[in-house]
Amino acid sequence: METLEDYDFDLHYHFGKADVVLDALSRKNYGQLSSLWFREFEINPAIAQSTNPLSPVNTAANRPHLDCNLQPRLWPPAIVFFWATVEQKMTEEEKGVDLLNQLEHILESDPLIDEVGFIHPSQFFILNEEAGGVLPSSNHHLLQSEDGISSFWNRDHKLGISIDILLPLYRAAKNAFMAAIAQYKAHGNPSVKEEKSGDENISCHLESEVMKHSRALLLLSSDFGTAWNSRKLVLSKKQDLSMFMDEFLLSALVLSYSPKSEQAWSHRRWVIKMIAGNYTYLQEVLGKESELVEKIAEKSKMNYRAWNHRCWLVFYMTGEQVLHELDKSRSWAGLHVADNCCFHYRRRLMLRILECSCYKQDPNASSGYNIEIYRVWKEELDWNKMLIERYIGREGLWLHRRFLSLCWIKHFATDGGDLSCHSELKTDANHDISNFLDNEIQYVHSCLAIPSDDFEDVETQAVFSATYILWLTKQMYECEGIELQQKQLIRGGELKILLKKHRPEKSFLWDSII
């Protein structure tokens, strides 16, 4: 008090609960920022500005004047660091929002973008040179952020995004989408009778925001299920065919950088179900879907999700489309014998042919259709035999032959009466069935011959052929009207010796079967 008597000053009482920053600092170590939990306190904006040492309000000219000659206020390093971090975070959020606006502008200005990729910033100059050196300001060819760093590249319906901006861009897209979907759900969906013009305009605006932000988000995170579901929610209420067709463009764009995205393939199936009632558009869509799967299969090998989607499409195909797909996929399967997905697709097509034959009501039509099935199966068997001889030791080809043989035996051996009105074809079919068994036996025994100086693939081919004939033997006994003795297939224990030699780990299995 003796020291303060030399100064003229006024004392003003300040509520302790309002002066939370100084109160916390008086009880905590200045060097431990982690102990200062400022978010737990409710600070009004005026106090926040007065306690921010970096704020313009807290300059020497704007600082509250005290009628004393005290030294300027010194802020602890922890407080300075805290506000610097807050301002840096706000700057990053503003940068992310700016990048999001650029991306959404590109998508709006070029709705036919069919490919998107994430590239290193150093590649932007190369892309610009290859494109002919177009200036960045020309037709949104090369967009840069405020700091001069290239962020997007857009030309010829191709979009490149810099990997350096992915994190702030994703955060901004996610925050914008979550805010939009929250507002959309909060607004609700009043009935058409009760909906006013103002509410209708608000609903359309919110729907537009949800669709816009979800599109940008899905281009950055293909399996963001909430974004896909939000689009389904809006589309199911609109029931607009043009919007459904736009979904095919978006999902194809997502698949261009994430070809195995289950969410994207599932979304395409949902759209097809929604437009299934429109027969004209459906048949056109099915053809484009098959082309898309084949295109993606070329880039992404062994893509189970893509081929599973193509198998799912078979249910909606007509008989003519099934035969066309069977013929079109043959060349691709012949060049990719290691990819069993295509053979699985062909088996699904052939099963669809059998299912359609069961639905035929007209006897004459049914007979003609079965003749077509007979020819399709014979061509498939001959083609499969050619592939087995060309590509030695491929198990997938032998498994495909099992399917063909089983369907051939069960369909033509037990349902031969369907060909009764065509006596010549019936005779040929019965003759072919008996010849089929003889040809299979001879063909398998030709594969059993293994030269001593040959490669391992030939030995594998012999093992596959031996197991195939054992499997075929079991199927013969289960089919009625077909008599086949085991000695006809297994001569002198030749198969048993071969299998034990090359697959000794399964010798117990061979003893129980043979």
pLDDT digits (tens, 9 = 90+) for 333-381: 999 898 889 999 999 999 998 888 765 545 454 455 567 788 888 899 9
Burial of 97 (0-12, 13-18, 19+ CB in 10 A): middle
**36, 24 contact by CB (below 8 A):** yes
**What is the distance between the terminal CA atoms of the chain, rounded to a whole angstrom?**
111
Q: How many angstroms from the chain centroid is the CA of residue 358?
A: 35
Pairwise CA distance, residues 444 & 495, whole Å:
10
Maximum Cα–Cα distance for the chain, whole Å?
129
Confidence of residue 507 (pLDDT cuts 50, 70, 90): low
Give which of 514, 513, 461, 512 is closest to 491, Cα–Cα: 514
Whether the Cβ atoms of residue 252 and residue 114 lie closer than 8 Å to each other: yes
* Mean pLDDT confidence for 191-199: 50
Report pLDDT for 350.
93
What backbone torsions phi and psi does residue 161 show, to the nearest 5 degrees? Answer: -120, 130
Pairing relationship of beta strands 115-119 and 142-144 according to DSSP bridges: unpaired
Separation of CA 502 from chain center: 41
Chain segment 2-11, per-residue pLDDT in tens: 666 667 777 7
Please give the pLDDT value at position 8. Answer: 74
Q: Residue 231: what residue type?
A: R
- Backbone φ and ψ for 433, nearest 5 degrees, come out as -65, -45
**pLDDT of 190 above 50:** no
Instruction: Report which of residues 89 and 475 the model is more confident about.
Output: 475
The region, left, alpha or beta by phi > 0 then psi within -120 to 50, assigned to residue 133 is left
Contacts 24+ apart (CB under 8 A), 503-510: 503/463
pLDDT at 66 over 50: no
DSSP 268: H
Token pair 């313009």 in the structure block, residue? 56
- Highest mean pLDDT pick, 184-188, 192-196, 426-430: 184-188
53 vs 330 pLDDT, higher one = 330
What average pLDDT does the segment 439-459 reach? 70
448 Cβ contact list (under 8 Å, min separation 6): 462, 465, 466, 494, 495, 498
Model-level pTM? 0.71
User: What is residue 440's three-state secondary structure?
Assistant: helix
Q: Give residue-wise pLDDT tens across range 361-370.
A: 454 544 555 6
Work out the mean pLDDT of the chain and round it to a whole number. 75
Task: Show Cβ contacts of residue 253 under 8 Å, excluding neighbours closer than 6 positions.
Answer: 113, 114, 115, 116, 219
Long-range (24+ apart) CB contacts under 8 A made by 102-105 are 102/143, 102/145, 102/151, 102/152, 103/152, 103/161, 103/169, 103/173, 103/216, 103/219, 104/212, 104/213, 104/215, 104/216, 105/140
